Chain A
Amino acid sequence: MSHAGSDRDARASGGGRWAGFRRVFRLPVTRARLSAELEDEFRFHLEGRIEDLMRRESLTRSAAEHEARRRFGDLSDYRQQVSVIDDTTFSRRARMELFDVIRREVGQALRTLWRTPAFTAIAFVTLALGIGATAAIFTVLDSVVLQPLPYKNADRLVAIVHPANVPGTGESKWGMSAGGYFAFLKGNRTLDDLGGFTTDAMTLTGQAGDAEQVQVGAVTASVFSAIGARAARGRLITAADDRPGSPQTVVLSYELWQRRFSGDASIVGSVIQTSQGPRQVIGIAEPGLGLPMPGPFASREDLAAFAVDVWEPLKLNPAGPFYNSHQYTGIARLKPGMTAEAAQADLSRIMAGFPAAMPTVYSTDFMKSFHFRVAVTPLKEAVLGPAVARSLWIMFAAVGLVLLIACANVANLFLVRLESRRRESAIRGALGAGKAQMALHYLAESLTLSLVAGVAGLIIARWAVPAIMAVAPRSLPRFSSIHFGWAAAVLGIGIAVLAGLVFGLLPAFRASVDVEALRDGGRGQTGSRGQRVTRDVLVVAQVSLAVVLLAGAGLLLRSFERLRSVQPGLDPNGVLTFQVNLPFERYGQETVSEDFHRQLSARIAALPGVTAVGADDALPLRDLAGGCTAVWPPREPGQGGKGACVATPIFLPDFFKAMGIQVRGRVPTWSDVNGRTQASVITKSLGERLWPGQDPIGKEINIGDRIVKGKAYKIVGVIPELRASGLDQPPTEAIFSPVTSLDTLPRRTGSMLSLVYTIRTTRADPVSLVPTIRQILSSMDRQVPLVNPMPMSTVVARSMARTSFIMVLLILASVMALLLSAVGMYGVISYVVTQQRPEIGIRMALGAQVTEVGKMVMARSVKLAVAGALLGVLFAVLTTRLMVSLLYDVSPNDPVVLVLVPLVLIAVAVVASLAPAWRAAKIDPVEAMRV
């Protein structure tokens, strides 16, 4: 059976199966084409069918049409089905082709890059370092400043403090008092939860290991509900546990539970022994739970990784009695929709009623003379403090500048490379290579290079972040939350892609067919004028950015020098410090603890190499900040008098000798302690303030919370200014009293239970004494640990840590910038020399001296550097004022820095151009002119 007359549908004879058909159309490339082709296919089928029917069954055309459609079926339904299938095919094929193109181009790009190893290596390293540094600093910035705090509803959490202007000391931030806390709790309209906390330490004794000092978070039950904390086992502190008189309970932290109690679940419900007595463990907190900041009186050391080991209830009594002592930092959760400002207004309103409600605690006189206020700030701001965010942003900006300089370098490298391939691409263009095709090639090269460099940069950053953390100051808030994460990776890749695009599109700014290049017979000229100007502009830009960086680093360096020359008021060389904490239950009685300290001092003093042993309860340069106590000279009744609020540490004799503090007058000794003479030592400026024009020695003074009936303190000695915490803070006034003073404040302040010992030794390394002293301690009482030993010089260094940290990083950034600029200038000048060889040759043939040629080359380099330096100085003057908060005693427009830095850059430019100038001078004119 044959279909007479029908078109031959199948090819039967030999030869290639497809040979008989003319391939006119390739596969469709757009969806519109696809559906048009489907219509063609259907139409062909129907037409063919109609012809068949008309022929075979002798139907009329319209009958045949009808029948053909009937046999075909639902046209639109089948059309739909096929469309769906075609769509999928289309996208899959498009994807595959894309992959193919990418693979091909990347392979090609890699081969081309491999052929110019010098360019590839320099560009790669430059970009990798730039991206790596940026990603590393960004990690720190992101973890500390940008990420929210790790609490539920962190954006609604606020901190509550009382700023006060302490006469004599200045602005200070106090916590809430117990009375204030209850007043706020009752009267507020803007807060969902309000809690107060302070921090402390205690020693765990008894079972499960040696005596161990742990951090304590003393909280109201409402702190947990404010931050949305949960228990991992058992329960957290509830309102019932927080009532005065309730059983002594604690909650252990998850980490402490794992570490000391081996994660034994039976610890919940059992009783543990501590330096403050037995405590029942009611639960384990969830992993990672901590306080955002330490309490108002904690030492600056604790600011950073403040992890709480043990939580205990504060058990504040709403019925009072209340005192004017402000130890509880407030943390609260705002009602939905409330702002911190609204809460502040609300609490200020309540505070206005304090003098009426609690006249003995909050007299109107006190409120006015201390300018007592309440401040509600978002918790993250409070944790970071004013300076941290700014410092980190400055560091990020600095490293961003380095990145820009690096990119300018790489851009220059690409431009140079472009020049040297001018002939090659001109030939290609003349032979018909599409403009788009060549652009794709360039883009593939630059993207491949920058993406690989980006990945390398991320690897560098991963390694660099721990290194940065190692030199970062301990007092950096949220230190423990710094880790390399997605944000930095995204940033790094993003920069790489952007850079790759910019570099790859550089050639687009050129004419498509470069006839000029073809016309050169062999050696190329210096390049189009546009190219040259671009390169020069890039170099000038680089130099100016480098100047800004160097200026910043220079200013910090000068700050650092000024800081180091600040007199701390003591001599830290050869001094060891450590803390000794006595458990309350056995040493609560003052005579008992006094005896202990007496004995300990004597035994340490007997050690070889020890020249003085002393102690006090607040180490200068670290612990002296925080609260203050009122002091005033005794007044005649009816006579108003001066007063001040200062630090009032207590000390063991020989403290001043151990610390190397010069005392004018007499230093109290152990006989003063034994005789209870209350002889005290005062700082010079306090004396001048309380008794202007007179010698304070011999005068009497009352210390606010230590009223001994009828007996005031007697001043026997005067010391120079001390610094409370950082060396960059103003000097602190203080009055030191011997340990026998009575004390009515709860917790650590003024208690002999926790003292910092200072040992002056002749040994080179004071820390070498620690093992011996440990032995002495444990022989006296096994359960008293030696805590936190460190040389005083470390304490001093740490107090400068913030400045030195930023300075180190900024100096690193500047050095990188300097190197990159030098390389950049070297590269550009080098290339120019190479390109100008024929001209130079001509000049020399015409009689130019060797030195003239050299000078010509260097002059060009110097011109660029001078332009860049001037521009840079201008930028520097504008931007360094942003750094003012980081500088100590240095003006942001310090003339020494602003003059030296440009000179350094110009010197670098001269050095960078030496080698090319040398090469230029050695050009053989005959050789050079041979075309």
Chain B
Amino acid sequence: MADLDLVRGTLDLLILKTLSWGPMHGLAVLRWIEQTTRDQLQIEEGALYPALHRMEQKDWLEAEWGYTDQGRKAKFYRLTPAGRRHLTAELSRWARYTSAIGLVITARQGPAGATG
């Protein structure tokens, strides 16, 4: 189930994309990712928080304490306009990255004519 280790640096991308749906607290981000990847992605949960705080420092996120629907106190994060712009840039970079990898992986010919 959880057999894909997360490549470093993509955690930021995941968080940003998750938050693009709306403000959430850290646990909510995690749950949504689990839900969407059907638990296939293994994230060490604590790593979320350095990432969140770092992105808040860079002003990609804004944080505010609030109450959940159940009345519990939680820290909510949301995207700033700068964060939104960064997300767009990262998404396109990801697309280029994966397509480049795809080119290598789906190649029909190896070097010097060897076929595999």
Contact = CB atoms under 8 A, between A and B. Distances in A.
Interface in A426-473: none
Given A17-B78, A18-B23, A44 B46 contact: no
Contacts of B47: 73, 78
B64 A23 contact: yes
Interface string A69-94: 00111110110011001101100100
A73 B45 CA distance: 7
B28 A49 contact: no
Contacts of A38: 49
Contact of A8 (B50, B63, B68): B68
Interface in A381-408: none
B57 A23 contact: no
A73 B78 CA distance: 24
Contacts of A11: 22-23
B66 A73 contact: no
Q: Max chain A CB contacts within 10 Å: which of B65, B68, B73?
A: B65
A78 B50 CA distance: 7
B53 interface: yes
Contacts of B108: none
Contact of B73 (A17, A42, A44, A92): A44
Contacts of B21: 10, 12
Interface in A1-38: 1, 3, 6-12, 17-18, 21-25, 27, 37-38
A1 B35 contact: yes
A75 B27 CA distance: 15
B66 A22 contact: yes
B86 interface: no
B44 A85 contact: no
B76 interface: yes
Interface string B38-66: 00000011110110011011000001111
Given A10-B23, A37-B65, A40-B73, A85 B46 contact: no
Interface in B1-53: 21-28, 30-32, 35, 44-47, 49-50, 53
B69 A74 contact: no
A37 B23 CA distance: 18
B94 interface: no
Given A41-B49, A89-B56, A10 B28 contact: yes
B49 A25 contact: no
A48 interface: yes
A73 B44 CA distance: 6
A676 interface: no
B25 A81 contact: no
A45 interface: yes
Contacts of B35: 1, 3
B2 to A, nearest CB: 10
Q: Max chain B CB contacts within 10 Å: which of A6, A10, A42?
A: A10
Given A9-B24, A37-B75, A85 B57 contact: yes
Contact of B57 (A7, A37, A49, A92): A92
A276 B23 CA distance: 95
Interface in A773-803: none
B75 A74 contact: no
B92 interface: no
A235 B24 CA distance: 79
A21 B66 contact: yes
Contact of A88 (B22, B23, B44, B57): B57
B70 interface: yes
A9 B56 contact: no
A17 B22 contact: yes
B64 A21 contact: yes
Given A7-B68, A21-B64, A49-B27, A72 B46 contact: yes
Contacts of B82: none
Contacts of A8: 68-69
Contacts of B63: 27
19 contacts: A1-B35, A9-B24, A10-B21, A17-B23, A18-B23, A21-B67, A25-B65, A27-B63, A38-B49, A41-B74, A45-B45, A48-B27, A73-B45, A73-B46, A78-B50, A85-B53, A89-B53, A89-B56, A92-B57
Interface of B: 21-28, 30-32, 35, 44-47, 49-50, 53-54, 56-57, 63-70, 72-76, 78
Interface of A: 1, 3, 6-12, 17-18, 21-25, 27, 37-38, 40-42, 44-45, 48-49, 52, 71-75, 77-78, 81-82, 85-86, 88-89, 92
Which 9 pairs from chain A and chain B are nearest by CB? A9-B28, A21-B66, A78-B46, A73-B46, A25-B65, A7-B70, A73-B44, A89-B57, A81-B50
